[in-house]
A and B are shown apart, each in its own frame.
Chain A
Amino acid sequence: GESVGLHLPTLSVQEGDNSIINCAYSNSASDYFIWYKQESGKGPQFIIDIRSNMDKRQGQRVTVLLNKTVKHLSLQIAATQPGDSAVYFCAENPGTYKYIFGTGTRLKVLA
């Protein structure tokens, strides 16, 4: 996909609400997916992963859903907190040793 330059898609949610961040991946051969969180000035940080033989995986306050039919991933964050404000990237592994990153979504948590 094309990068969106400085205009990342932004999701604004009220503190305490649930957040859903979506990602469309590109390669039907991808069998492993990761969501990363990137805070300003820092490197991407692993949040949760899922393999293609699953359609849902839950972590602490986070859930990842995988729909292979439409090549779609989502990240759900329960009870969003101010510390969740960051840019969130999905990454897919198409069976090679490298990951392909999505464009990213900026999550803004409103107090």
Chain B
Amino acid sequence: EPEVTQTPSHQVTQMGQEVILRCVPISNHLYFYWYRQILGQKVEFLVSFYNNEISEKSEIFDDQFSVERPDGSNFTLKIRSTKLEDSAMYFCATIKGTGDGYTFGSGTRLTVV
């Protein structure tokens, strides 16, 4: 069964540092998403990406966040200057088309110290 692959599985970074989280979507999927889950809380929408541009973003996705798909395969989430409250699991999700359910990656646990 096709998978969404995320790397790294765990990243520890110092406050103020930049991090890049990587996702390899399923090859024929067209819509890509980043979600965040703070420990013990619900999964929160960050951003959706279609046709090489952001289609929607949440209040959480401020100027410190950016996404891109630089080489047509990897889909990345960059946090420019991490804060302690950015510590969370970050999930990439993709869908083939509208009306489909997500396929989630296994997540990257980001710990900001």
Which residues of A come within 8 Å of B, CB atoms? 3-8, 32, 34, 36, 41-46, 49, 89, 91, 96-104
Chain A residues within an 8 Å CB radius of B41: 3-6, 103
17 contacts between A and B (CB under 8 A): A6-B39, A32-B99, A34-B101, A43-B91, A43-B104, A43-B107, A46-B101, A89-B43, A97-B56, A97-B98, A98-B33, A98-B48, A100-B45, A101-B35, A101-B45, A102-B42, A104-B42
Residue of A nearest to B46 (CB): A98
Q: Which residues of A contact B50 (CB under 8 A)?
A: 97
What number of B residues sit within 8 Å (CB to CB) of A? 28
**A104 shortest CB reach to chain B, Å:** 6
Which 10 residue pairs spanning A and B have beta carbons closest together? A43-B104, A6-B40, A101-B43, A3-B41, A34-B101, A43-B106, A103-B42, A43-B107, A44-B104, A101-B42
| Complex-state Cα separation, A99 to B33, whole angstroms | 10
In the complex, what distance in Å separates the CA atom of A34 from the CA atom of B91?
17
Least Cβ distance of B67 to chain A in Å? 14
Proximity string of chain B (76-113) to chain A, C-beta cutoff 8 Å, 1 when within and 0 when not: 00000000000000010101001101111111010000
Chain A binding surface SS class: loop
Closest beta carbon of chain B to A22's beta carbon, Å = 15
CB of B42 within 8 A of CB of A97, answer: no
State A44–B55 Cα separation when bound (angstroms): 22
| 8 Å CB contact of B106 from A36, A42, A104 | A42
Complex: A89 Cα to B41 Cα, angstroms: 11
Interface centre among B40, B56, B91 (most CB of A within 10 A): B40
Check if B31 is an interface residue, CB within 8 A of chain A. Answer: yes
| Shortest beta-carbon distance from A66 to chain B in Å | 15
Shortest CB distance B104–A (Å) = 4
